[in-house]
Each structure stands twice: as C-alpha cells, then as structure tokens.
Copies of this chain bind each other. A is one copy, B any other.
Amino acid sequence: MCQLLGMNCNVPTDICFSFEGFRRRGGLTDHHRDGWGIAFFEGRGCRLFLDAKATIESPVADLVRHYPIHSTQVIAHIRKATRGRVALENTHPFQRELWGRYWVFAHNGTLEDYAPELSPLYQPVGDTDSERAFCHLLEGLRRAFPDGPKEEGALASTLRRLTADIARHGVFNYLLGNGTTLYAHCSTDLHFVTRQAPFGHAHLVDEDLTVDFSRLTRPDDRVTVIATQPLTDNEAWTRLAAGQLVAFRGGEAVADL
C-alpha cells in the first residue's frame, strides 16, 4: 500500500520532522520503493519534487530533509506500484491548474474497472488509475463551475458526489489541495493530528526521534498533519471513517463534507 502525508497550517511551517519518519517508510520501515513525491505550496506557487527512486536512496529526499521549506500546505506520497509501471510520469503527487490555482493530488489504493470517458480538458500523462481519477475530479469541478465556485459549500458538495462515484471502484484514500484548502478522503486508512497551543513533545514511530514543539512554535500556530498511519506514538491521532471527506484550512478541520 502507498503512504500519504499531508500538512495544512495557518502559518508557513517546515515538514522536516514528519518527513523524517515518513521517508523511512519508503524502503526501510516499510516496502514502498517505487518512487515518491512531495508538493509544497508557498503562496500561490507550488513546488513539486518527484523521484522514481525509493525515498531512502533518493538525493531529492536528502534535499527535502535538509532544506526547511516553509509551506502552508504539503502533500506527499510514497508509491507501491499496483497500477502503472514505475516511471516518473506515474509518480504522485500529480499537479494541474484549475481556475488560476495549482491543484495537487495523491492517492492510496487501487480502483477496479475504472475507465471514465475523459474530455480533452484534463488528460492523464501516465497510466495510473490515480492520475485518471484526478483528471476525473478536476473535469467534474470545472464542468460544474466553469468560472470557479461562488462559495466553498457548492464546491464541497460537487467534490463529495464525484468522490463517491469514483470510490465505488475500490480503495480511494486521497489528499487533494489547492494551497488554501486540503481535502482528505478516506476509504480505509487515513489519520490526522492537529497541533496547537499548548504544544508538547512528539515522538516518531519510525525512528527514535523526539521534538519539543513548544520550542519551535508561537502560541497562535496551528498545524494539522494527515497520514495513512500515525507518524507519532504519543499524540492523539484521529482516524477518519470509511467514506469520510474532510476539508482542512488554516491548520484545522473546518468541514466534514
């Protein structure tokens, strides 16, 4: 199974601590050696680092570990190939533009008998079910709101309907973000923790490493981390239910859609 990692914050934050545990699942503490990627939103801009190597051997992962990029939204993925060969074009996250914003998507799971008729609006470049589903979601959103939605609630209900259609085909845990809102959908495995004052210590599951967030944060900071499996063993992670779609904004869950 692939591994998902997301972060949504109210102030730009580096993901070095969470990434330290996460990357070890790419070939060391778990068997996901078929590439990985991470997208950082900085303002309206987005940086997407991709590598078809295992994170544990990847020079790009070393860069991400040592270069504390401050971002308000991060989406990362470690791949265990199930559909589509190991290749850069099949490496998550995927990125497209919609309504003058970048959208980024990463998926964990496998979709069966899933071959939607896609318009030329968004065409997959690789051959994964995941990228197809991403194109399907964006096409559906664009058709529903050609010039962008007037309000967030309308977008959410369309996204919910599109997601339910696709989820009928199999396991569809995903993270979808546009730099402001991060949407997390759970079919089987997705957990999140929200860190805010009073901040405490966190200890990684995958490595004996502890951080004291009270020394690294200001009182108003708020950060939510979302992952396939909890990354720390001494914090209260919330498990999403099957079929649950949650929107995160400003570092916290704002809507259960």
Contacts and interface: CB of A to CB of B under 8 A. Distances in A.
Interface of A: 42-52, 59-60, 63, 66-67, 87-91, 95-97, 99-102, 120-126, 142, 146-147
Contact of A120 (B44, B46, B63, B147): B147
| Candidate in A52, A66, A89, A122 with the most chain B CB atoms within 10 angstroms | A89
Contact of A67 (B59, B90, B96, B125): B59
5 contacts: A42-B87, A44-B88, A44-B126, A45-B89, A46-B88
Nearest to A45: B88
A41 to B, nearest CB: 9
A73 to B, nearest CB: 13
B50 A60 contact: no
B91 A45 contact: yes
Contacts of A87: 42-45
A44 B128 CA distance: 13
Contacts of A125: 44-45, 97, 100-102
B122 A97 contact: yes
Contact of A99 (B49, B51, B123, B147): B123
A63 B69 CA distance: 15
Closest 7 pairs between A and B when the two form their complex, measured CB to CB: A45-B88, A45-B89, A100-B123, A44-B89, A59-B67, A42-B88, A63-B63
Contacts of A51: 47
Contacts of A89: 43-46
A46 B97 CA distance: 16
Nearest to A44: B89
A140 to B, nearest CB: 15
A168 to B, nearest CB: 25
